[in-house]
C-alpha cells in the first residue's frame, strides 16, 4: 500500500513513496511565492521557480510550460523541446492544458490557483503527464483524453497508471451558478439555495470509467480556498492572485 501523499517542508508530493530516484513530482506552496510570468507580481517569479526546482533536482532552464486556456488540448512533448516557457511566457507551448512525455530530464509544468492539477505517472514505460483541470477542462474530459494519449503514444496501461490529485478548490468552497447543471449530471452538491462543484469527484469518476485502478489514485484532500494561507486561491483573492507550479519529470 502506497502512502497517499505528504507535505514535506510544506511542499506537496503527490506520490511520496514513488518520488524516488526515477521521478521528480511536486507542487510549490504559497510560501515559495508566485511562479507565473503572466499573473500577479511577476518580478520574482524566475527566482521563485529556480529555488523551488533546485530542491527537486530539476534545472529551471529545462522547464516546459503551456499557455493554458481552459481547453482540452494535450501536447506530446519530446526530446529537444526543453526550455519552452522556462525563461519567458512567449515561447510556452500555445493553446494547451495538458502535457505528456516519455523523455527523461524533461520537466513539465502547469500553473494553478484553485484549478485541479492532476499528475499522471506510468512507472513501467515510463512516461508522465500533467493536466490543468478547471471546470471547462473537466467538462471536456481533458484527463481521460490525456490517459488515452498516453495509451496510444506510449503504450501505457490505464489500469497501471498512478494518478495524483493536487491541492484545488473543493466542493466545500467552489460555489457555481445554476447553469452548471447544464454541463454536469453529477458532481454538483446542493446546500440550501447554493450549488457547489466537486472537480475531484468528477475527474475521479471519469478516470475510473476509463479503466484506472482506484488503488492507484492519490488525493491530496487539500482545499486551496480553505487553506489559502498555504496555497494560492483565485476565488478567495481575485485577479491579483499568484500561481503555484506543479511539476513532473522522469529522471
Question: Does residue 4 interact with Zn ion by CB under 5 A?
Answer: no
DSSP calls for 185-244: SSSEEEETTEEEE-HHHHHHHHHHHTT--GGGEEE---BTTTTTTTS--HHHHGGG---E
- 138 or 224: CB nearest Zn ion: 224
Residue 6, strand partner residues: 13
Instruction: Give 69 or 226: the residue with its C-beta nearer to Zn ion.
Output: 226
Nearer to Zn ion, 77 or 168 (CB): 168
Q: What's the Cα-to-Cα distance from 25 to each of 28, 179, 247, rounded to whole Å?
A: 10, 36, 6
- State in angstroms the smallest separation of the CB of 238 from Zn ion: 17
Neighbours of 57 (CB within 10 A): 12
How far are the Cα atoms of 34, 103, 193 from residue 53, in angstroms, in the given order? 13, 18, 44
The CA distance from 241 to 178, in Å, is 26
CB of 103 to Zn ion, least distance (A): 37
User: Is residue 223 close enough to count as binding Zn ion by CB under 5 A?
Assistant: yes
Contact flag: residue 241 with Zn ion (CB under 5 A): no
Site string for Zn ion, 154-193 (x = CB under 5 A): ----------------x-xx--------------------
Min dist. Cβ of residue 234 to Zn ion (A)? 13
Interface with Zn ion by CB under 5 A: which range of 2-10, 23-31, 177-185, 218-226?
218-226
E strand or H helix that includes residue 148:
helix 142-154
Region 115-144 residues binding Zn ion, contact defined as CB under 5 A: none
Nearer to Zn ion, 124 or 172 (CB): 172
Number of residues counted as binding Zn ion (CB under 5 A): 6
- Whether 107 and 24 have beta carbons less than 8 Å apart is answered as yes
Q: Interface with Zn ion by CB under 5 A: which residues? A: 170, 172-173, 223, 225-226
Amino acid at each position: 500500500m502506497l502512502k497517499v501523499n505528504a507535505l514535506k517542508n510544506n511542499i506537496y508530493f503527490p506520490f511520496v513513496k514513488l518520488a524516488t530516484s526515477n521521478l521528480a513530482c511536486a507542487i510549490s506552496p504559497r510560501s515559495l511565492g508566485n511562479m507565473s510570468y503572466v499573473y500577479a507580481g511577476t518580478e520574482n517569479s524566475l527566482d521563485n521557480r529556480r529555488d523551488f526546482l533546485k530542491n527537486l533536482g530539476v534545472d529551471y532552464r529545462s522547464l516546459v510550460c503551456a499557455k493554458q486556456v481552459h481547453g482540452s488540448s494535450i501536447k506530446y512533448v519530446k526530446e529537444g523541446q526543453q526550455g519552452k516557457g522556462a525563461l519567458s511566457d512567449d515561447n510556452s507551448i500555445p493553446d494547451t492544458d495538458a502535457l505528456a512525455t516519455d523523455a527523461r530530464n524533461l520537466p513539465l509544468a502547469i500553473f494553478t490557483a484553485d484549478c485541479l492539477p492532476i499528475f499522471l505517472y506510468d512507472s513501467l514505460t515510463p512516461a508522465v503527464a500533467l493536466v490543468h483541470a478547471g471546470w471547462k477542462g473537466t467538462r471536456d474530459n481533458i484527463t481521460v483524453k490525456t490517459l488515452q494519449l498516453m495509451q496510444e503514444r506510449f503504450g501505457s496501461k490505464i489500469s497501471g497508471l498512478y494518478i495524483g490529485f493536487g491541492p484545488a478548490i473543493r466542493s466545500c468552497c467552489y460555489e457555481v451558478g445554476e447553469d452548471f447543471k447544464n454541463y454536469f449530471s453529477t458532481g454538483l452538491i446542493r446546500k440550501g439555495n447554493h450549488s457547489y462543484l466537486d472537480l475531484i469527484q468528477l475527474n475521479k469518476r471519469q478516470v475510473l470509467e476509463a479503466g484506472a485502478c482506484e488503488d492507484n489514485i492519490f488525493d491530496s484532500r487539500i482545499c486551496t480556498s480553505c487553506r489559502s494561507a498555504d496555497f494560492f486561491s483565485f476565488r478567495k483573492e481575485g485577479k491579483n492572485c499568484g500561481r503555484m507550479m506543479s511539476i513532473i519529470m522522469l529522471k
